[in-house]
Amino acid sequence: MPPASTFRKNHGDECLVSRYAEPVIRVSVASQNLEFSRNGKIIFKARVSTAARGPGFEEGSLQTPTGNFLVREKIGEGAPIHTSFKGRVPRSVWQGGTSNDAILTRILWLEGLDERNANTRDRYIYFHGTHAEDLIGQPASCGCIRLRNKDMLTLFDLTPISTPVQIS
């Protein structure tokens, strides 16, 4: 995998990823869709839920940052589906109930590569499973990118550390 310096920015949030930087994850905030491609071929698609407050970069904004990222850490390998995480530590299998933004199943922790999203890791922005699968396909999260739990298992298994991510 090439270093982050192989990324080139073009037209604001659009990114041209080096032909050597595969696989890649692309998320569309407008359509609430995720595509995972390898060698230019889409091999996995899923509906997602980004922030209810829309895109943004401010600490504490509860908004989803856009731009270019890398998957910096994978958390939860081998845990049962619906495992609940607190502080990125698996606690128990979620049994239902209400929650503001339960972080379930797996975590892919993002690192921002652009100046305006450089605080992404410190904001704890992840891909993760959710307690609110009925809200997938519409903006509803507190900043992270939520997936259905089974989709999160698939994405986690497909995604190596340092996978490029584009959120637009």
Pick among 2.170.190.11, 2.40.440.10, 2.40.110.10, 1.10.10.10: CATH of 4-167: 2.40.440.10
CB 34 within 8 A of CB 146: no
Average pLDDT along the chain: 88
What does the pLDDT average to over 10-29? 63
Query: For residue 155, what are its two tokens?
Result: 């994405």
Task: Examine the pLDDT at 37 and tell me if it is beyond 70.
Answer: yes
Render pLDDT for 69-125 as a digit per residue (tens, 0 to 9).
999 999 999 999 999 999 999 888 888 776 677 899 999 999 999 999 999 999 999
Alpha carbon distance 133, 156 (integer Å): 17
What does the pLDDT average to over 9-17? 40
Secondary element (H or E) of residue 28: strand 24-28
Kindly give, in sequence order, each residue whose CB lies less than 8 Å from that of residue 49, ignoring residues fewer than 6 positions away.
Answer: 32, 130, 132, 135, 136, 137, 138, 139, 140, 141, 145, 146, 147
What does the pLDDT average to over 35-46? 96
- Percentage, residues of the chain above pLDDT 90: 79
What does the pLDDT average to over 141-168? 98
Render pLDDT for 157-167 as a digit per residue (tens, 0 to 9).
999 999 999 99
CB 125 within 8 A of CB 37: no
pLDDT: which is higher, 93 or 139: 139
All structural domains of the chain with their residue ranges: 4-167
CA trace torsion 127, 128, 133, 136 (10° rounding): 0
Task: Examine the pLDDT at 12 and tell me if it is beyond 50.
Answer: no
